[in-house]
Amino acid sequence: MSNLVQIRVAADASDGFDSPAKQKAANRSSYSNRPFLSLRRAKQFLGAAKFKLFLVLFALSIVVFVSSRLSSWMGWNPHHSSSVSSTSRGGYTVLINTWRHKSLLKQTVAHYASCQSADAIHVVWSESEQPSERLKTYLNKIVVLKSQKAHKPNFRFDINADGEPNSRFKPIKDLKTDAIFSVDDDVVVPCSTLDFAFSVWQSAPFTMVGFVPRIHWLDKEQNNAAYYRYGGWWSVWWMGTYSMVLSKAAFFHRKYLDLYTHEMSPSIQDYVSRERTCEDIAMSLFVANATSGPPIWVKGTFCSFTFKDRIQFAVYGLQ
């Protein structure tokens, strides 16, 4: 009996885990499972890589969307550049608004004629008395003399004998540029500063880009009507923000001359005609409403003179 037990125990031991036969079988089993394990690991790796790639693409799409919305809100939209008229020249037209400042007008025209990117100079003449032939001859000569390029700026008067303030933004025939630089006859912006502002405008050609910031804010609401306060330069400086730039010195697209004349609210045009003021504010708010974005204030040094040729102020937002 004891011998039988010993034989069975020995047999069990020989058939155990440490037996050569079972070791070979176990090895064959492990070798046969390795391709399946490698395939599973490869699938897991590819799945993780795809997930990471998805996260990266999702993050990039969010960045692109936010940046596009932000650029639109800020008024910078590179897609607008493709919409600019292909027949437009690369420079800008200087649109000078004048009112009984003949001596200042001579200085202003001479200065802007010397700017390389000035393609044309138009003087909006809003007096009942026509400009004299002597003045016309002088200004034409000064444009030719001061211009530093082969193509001399085209110069002419745009006569508005009725003195209507809205006529400042009357459509102009035969314009060769999309860019309009609207400026008062007592404002002189250095050519280098003007060229920089022009480059900013080219990045956002349907936005108003100017040097004279202003601010307005809600004062009160009464009888379903909103009343606003208007602040000048010192309000802008004190509050650290602005809500408009004035056409006293600003770039805008030529299409706004047509839109202001034909699509501006009649009540606003009537107010400007009656009060004989605020056409610059009306234009700034009109452009902002059309673009659903704010104007761009370009900081820079420039001079403005009174009718006595004395400096009235010299710096707006000195860099």
Active site residue 280: yes
Bridge partners for 90 per DSSP: none
Do 170 and 257 contact (CB within 8 A), yes or no? yes
CA–CA gap between residue 254 and residue 120 (Å, rounded): 13
CA–CA gap between residue 241 and residue 140 (Å, rounded): 41
Catalytic residue, from 12, 258, 280, 309: name it. Answer: 280
Classify residue 305 by burial, with Cβ atoms within 10 Å: 0-12, 13-18, 19+: buried
CA–CA gap between residue 49 and residue 314 (Å, rounded): 61
Q: Do you know the residue count of the chain? A: 319
Please choose, from the candidates 217, 204, 277, the residue with its C-alpha nearest in 3D space to the C-alpha of residue 246: 277
Do 75 and 294 contact (CB within 8 A), yes or no? yes
What kind and span of H or E run contains 313? Answer: strand 311-316
Concatenate the DSSP letters of all residues of 129-177 into one string: SPPPHHHHHHHHHHHHHH--SSSPPEEEEEE-TT--GGGGG---TT--E
What kind and span of H or E run contains 225? Answer: strand 225-231
CA–CA gap between residue 80 and residue 133 (Å, rounded): 42
Please choose, from the candidates 181, 224, 30, the residue with its C-alpha nearest in 3D space to the C-alpha of residue 92: 181
What are the backbone angles phi and psi of residue 108, rounded to the nearest 5°?
-65, -45
Positions marked active-site:
280
